Amino acid sequence: MSGAPLRVQVPMRWGDMDAYGHVNNVNLIRLMEEARIAGFGVPGGTGAPGMDPKADIFSAVPAGVQILVVEHRVRYSRPLEYRNVPVNVDLWVANIKPASFEICYEFRDPIEDYLCVKAATTLAYFDPAVGRVQRLSEAERQGLAAFEGAPTFAK
């Protein structure tokens, strides 16, 4: 990877907390999505303009092409305790293949910066007009490769 992972901060909501004071595992998936958008942008043709992401790689996806989640993997090393400050999330890209890639995450406590969660989301570009996954163009692969690092989980 060319440099350090992207670090974004994602607000935790009071409602994300479970009875133990930790961010609930279901709500962690939402935090992964929020981190992905903060880091790499809103998919083209969705939503209205707002804050610019750290690295805008998703807005260039051609009109009509969807970015779909293929798989999520999550490993907890410490509880992510609810705090009324945003959680630190480090992001990078891994396992770039002809038609899919992973966004990797490390969730760190926002005060003490210890690692709480490692996760990965496999994404693919899907063309609903033809009903199948679309191969990544060379330009898309190069854009992703600028943020490439080691995968979170060995395959």
Task: Decide if pLDDT at 1 tops 50.
Answer: no
Q: Choose the most confident range, by mean pLDDT, from 2-6, 48-52, 122-126.
A: 122-126
Q: What is the pLDDT of residues 69-119, one digit of tens each?
A: 999 999 999 999 999 999 999 999 999 999 999 999 999 999 999 999 999
Residue 29: pLDDT band with limits 50, 70, 90: very high
Per-residue pLDDT, 58: 80
Residue with structure tokens 């293949």?
97
Q: What is the DSSP string of 29-52?
A: HHHHHHHHHHHH-PPTTSS---SP
Structural domains in the chain plus CATH codes: 4-144 (3.10.129.10)
Res 10: pLDDT: 96
Cα–Cα distance for residue pair 7/137, rounded to 1 Å: 26
* pLDDT higher at 117 or 65: 117
Residue 9: burial class (beta carbons within 10 Å; 0-12, 13-18, 19+): middle
Q: Provide the percentage of residues in the chain whose pLDDT is more than 70.
A: 90
Residue 118, number of CB atoms within 10 A of its CB: 17
| Average pLDDT score over the chain | 89
φ/ψ of 90, rounded to 5, equals: -95, 135
Q: Which two tokens stand for residue 108?
A: 């760190």
